[in-house]
Amino acid sequence: MNILAIGDVVARPGRKALKAHLSQLQAQHEVDFTVVNVENAANGSGLTRGVYKELAALPIDVMTSGNHIFSKREVFDFIDDEPTLLRPHNYPAGTAGTGIVTVTAANGAQVTVINLMGQAFMHPSLDCPFASMSEILRSTSLQEGLILLDFHTETTSEKSAMGWHVDGQISAQWGTHTHVQTADERVLPDGTAFITDLGMTGAYNSVIGTDKDIIVKGYVTKVRGRFDPANGPAAVCGALIDVDEASGKARSIRRIRVESE
């Protein structure tokens, strides 16, 4: 079974690149299931109803997010009605939305997608993502089918530690949030595909999706300006994962990067 995971879609350039390349990637690699992180899709931070509808029109099975999912307040008006739009599962009980969903893939397989957020340099008040993941894996409802995890966090060490924590218990874990694609994709010893960060789907002549001049000026003057998203050519970044449906173990994982003009 072929799974496509796409990293943080940033603003209009990221959405435009995703629209231009997603269907082609799916056809080229015979993709059965697609997960896309969308927390930066609306002007670089958060998600509006209009942007969500734009993305929902694309062949995406599940959308994940992270610390910016609630940046646009209007997301509260629709997130409870969209079970395949996830926010991190380890937000407190009662938070709008859900962080876990099980979906039937195009080939009939049951796929559970989990979205968690880290604590290091992020939100230490959230529930421990490691404890949350262990609790999820104890659920009897997850004994069949494939399990995928988008772990949205800042540090490479926390992402890597989670990979070892879940190795052999889920099919794949990838990291999002830092917007820089890492070169450490591999199948861990007990069969879980892992990559520290999928990278960004957005304008690449930028500083992780933000107008480069604004960021450079901030470092030079020590005065921060408004973080406007960059424009210009964009890249789609992510990973392709091949999973054996019978065992739930990953056979391979490889990075993808497709540039748009």
Question: What is the domain-level CATH number for residue 44?
Answer: 3.60.21.10
Give the range of the structural domain holding residue 194, as residue numbers without chain letter: 2-204+234-259
Q: Measure CA 84 to chain center.
A: 13
- Helix, strand, coil % over all residues of the chain, rounded to 5: 25, 30, 45
Q: Provide the 10 A C-beta neighbour count for residue 42.
A: 27
Task: Classify residue 225: in a domain, yes or no.
Answer: no
CA–CA gap between residue 148 and residue 195 (Å, rounded): 12
Cα–Cα distances (Å) from 7 to 21, 100, 202, in that order, read 14, 18, 9
Which member of 21, 68, 152, 165 is catalytic?
Answer: 68
Q: Has 177 been annotated as catalytic? A: no
Task: Classify residue 220: in a domain, yes or no.
Answer: no
Task: Classify residue 97: in a domain, yes or no.
Answer: yes
Q: 184-206 burial, b if ≥16 CB within 10 A, otherwise e?
A: ebebbeebbbbbbbbbbbbbbeb
Task: Classify residue 149: in a domain, yes or no.
Answer: yes
Task: Classify residue 221: in a domain, yes or no.
Answer: no
Task: Classify residue 209: in a domain, yes or no.
Answer: no
- Answer for the pair 195, 253: CB distance below 8 angstroms, yes or no: yes
Q: What is the pTM of this model?
A: 0.96
Task: Classify residue 120: in a domain, yes or no.
Answer: yes
- Those residues whose C-beta lies under 8 Å from the C-beta of residue 258, and which sit 6 or more positions away, are 17, 21, 25, 235, 236
pLDDT in tens, 173-197: 999 999 999 999 999 999 999 999 9
Write down the pLDDT at residue 72.
96
Task: Classify residue 210: in a domain, yes or no.
Answer: no
Structural domains counted in the chain: 1
pLDDT in tens, 126-154: 999 999 999 999 986 676 789 999 999 99
